[in-house]
Amino acid sequence: MVRKIKCSFCGNSIKQGTGIMFVKNDGNIYYFCSSKCEKNFKLGKNKKKLKWTRRD
């Protein structure tokens, strides 16, 4: 069964086996659909201020 995951930054759905999984030292797990999302997350960008992300 294919498990769909949401991107932790932009909110797009990611199919299992694709994307990037990032685990911080404190145990938090973040999933990213692209390197663009990963880089913006690591830079500390606010996803609510960017036009191309879904604002939740």
Q: How many domains does the chain contain in total?
A: 1
Question: How far, in Å, CA of 3 to CA of 13, rounded?
Answer: 10
d(CA 11, CA 27): 21
Percent of the chain past pLDDT 70, that is, above it, reads 95
Cβ partners under 8 Å of residue 23, min gap 6: 29, 30
Q: What is the pLDDT of residue 1?
A: 67
Question: Is this structure's pTM higher than 0.85?
Answer: no
pLDDT at 20 over 80: yes
Q: Which domain covers residue 32, as residue numbers? A: 5-45
Please report whether residue 54 resides in a domain. no
CB 2 within 8 Å of CB 16:
yes
pLDDT at 6: 93
Per-residue pLDDT, averaged over 7-29, amounts to: 93
DSSP letter at 35? H
Tell me, what CATH number does 24's domain have?
2.30.170.20
Phi-psi region of 48 (alpha: psi -120 to 50; beta: other; left: phi over 0): alpha
Give the per-residue pLDDT at 37: 94
In a domain, 33, yes or no: yes
